[in-house]
Amino acid sequence: MMTPDLLAKYDQPVPRYTSYPTAPHFHAGIDAAAYGAWLETLDPAQPLSLYFHVPFCDSLCWFCGCHTRVVNRYEPVATYFDLLKQEIALVAKRLGPGRTVSHMHFGGGSPTMLIPDDIRRLGDFVWGLFDKAPDAEVAVEIDPRGLSYETVRAFASIGVNRASIGVQDVNREVQEAVNRIQPLSSTAEAMAALRAEGVDRINIDLMYGLPFQTVSRVLHTVECILPLRPDRLAVFGYAHVPHMKPHMNLIPGHALPGRDERFRQQQAIADLLVEAGHVRIGLDHFAKDSDPLVAALQEGRLHRNFQGYTVDPAEVLIGFGASAIGALPQGYVQNVTAMPEYRKAIGEGRLPVARGIELTAEDRLRRAIIEQVMCHLRVDLAAMQREAGLTLDLSGERIALAALATDGLVRIEGEVLTVPEEARPLLRSVACVFDAYLATGKAKHSRAV
């Protein structure tokens, strides 16, 4: 059972582990030349996962930690769209023809900022360069505010079959405090339009820990969303990091829930979703029995990447656009963030890489261990090392794990670690034991609770 003392003890800044090593450890030693060489030496038979970043919004949500900017005209988006296509062509040239795409994701920002004609042109361009796997999942992040039916139709026409809709909270006072006014009706209408166009796999994103949220208010949000029948729900804790995102200073700090209240909100949401028949996935996802995430969980095939929990097994995730991150067998790369730098690189025919990191054999093994903890709440350390053909010196980790076991966060049986259900909210605190970079970095992460 999580006591206030335990929550206080483990409420420390820790990574979310959507990658390992995490992005703060990327460095400028990995440049366009290194990335190009990595692309050219990939196995042609490996399926690809593609991510497209659209860093524009109509208005700024004050809780947002993403790389985006507000625009009030389409010209910057149109210019970026042309640059994005040029980057895709640069990468495709290095990959060679006949590459198959198993997953594709449009994120942001707001991909729905793209006009329908540009959505169709982008789809035609991508599918002209890559082959689409018969069972490919093509997902898009949707802002339902002001969403047009024509935009939905355009995304459906290029193969989109899953959509994620940001809701966060349905209570007006909370919405006003984070600068995101979104009537429930706009969410319902967006879901109806998506389903009418055949996009029938729908995710909903919720948040806890926002200003003016209470247990009763977050439960009210869930009760409003459940009748809309989402297939998946992601429930994220708001990370208040104004030192990294200055616009978060606009959020009334006095209205932010404290640690114990955040935990109660998280648990209340989880209990209600499980009671409603959803299966709990990893740290913060919930899914219907029929959703592929559940089968992946049961069969040990669940993965975690920059989009969260996924069934995507592709070892090659290529990120396109300003600030986008890619993951390859050799390591990680991240594009430049500033638009002038992105424009300059593309104009010079260069891959717009800013930084990255090359993986060692130890990195790969630690990443696999962390992923098992984050996905399956269980890891067999002996089996993982045997499979990797590598033995790690885990003496320091065993001391840390023994302390976690004393506090009830893990159970240790020989070389097998299991995180009990009651400790699920502190999964990141268990996973970070295996992070060899954490103590060496100065990065600022969100808190565990």
Ligand-binding annotation for 261, yes or no, is: no
What's the N-to-C CA distance of the chain in angstroms?
15
280 is in an annotated binding site: no
Angstrom distance (rounded) from CA 437 to CA 32: 24
Distances from the Cα of 208 to the Cα of 211, 255, 257, angstroms:
9, 13, 9
Q: Does 267 appear as a known binding residue? A: no
* Measured distance CA(99)–CA(138) in Å, rounded: 16
Tell me if 57 is assigned to a ligand binding site: yes
432 is in an annotated binding site: no
- How many C-beta neighbours within 10 Å does residue 245 have? 17
Q: Does 190 show up as a binding residue in the annotation?
A: no
Is 408 annotated as ligand-binding?
no
**Residue with token string 């299966």:** 279
Q: Which helix (H) or strand (E) holds 429?
A: helix 427-431
Q: Is 205 annotated as a binding residue?
A: yes
| 224 annotated to a ligand binding site | no
Q: Which long-range contacts (CB under 8 A, 24 or more apart) does 294-303 make?
A: 297/375, 297/376, 300/376, 302/375, 302/376, 303/371, 303/375
Whether 141 has a binding-site annotation, put simply, is yes
Q: CB neighbours (10 Å) of residue 380?
A: 17
Q: Is 51 annotated as a binding residue?
A: yes
CA angle 273, 109, 301 (to 5 degrees): 45
318: which strand partners? 50
Closest by CA position to 52, among listed 328, 353, 307:
307
The helix or strand, by DSSP H or E, that contains position 141, with its residue range, turns out to be strand 131-142
C-alpha pair distances (Å), 418 with each of 15, 268, 374 = 20, 23, 11
Query: Is 277 labeled as ligand-binding?
Result: no
Alpha-carbon gap, residue 13 to 2, rounded angstroms: 18
Binding site per annotation, positions: 51, 57, 61, 63-65, 108, 141, 168, 180, 205, 239, 325
Binding site per annotation, positions for S-adenosyl-L-methionine: 51, 63-65, 108, 141, 168, 180, 205, 239, 325
Binding site per annotation, positions for [4Fe-4S] cluster: 57, 61, 64
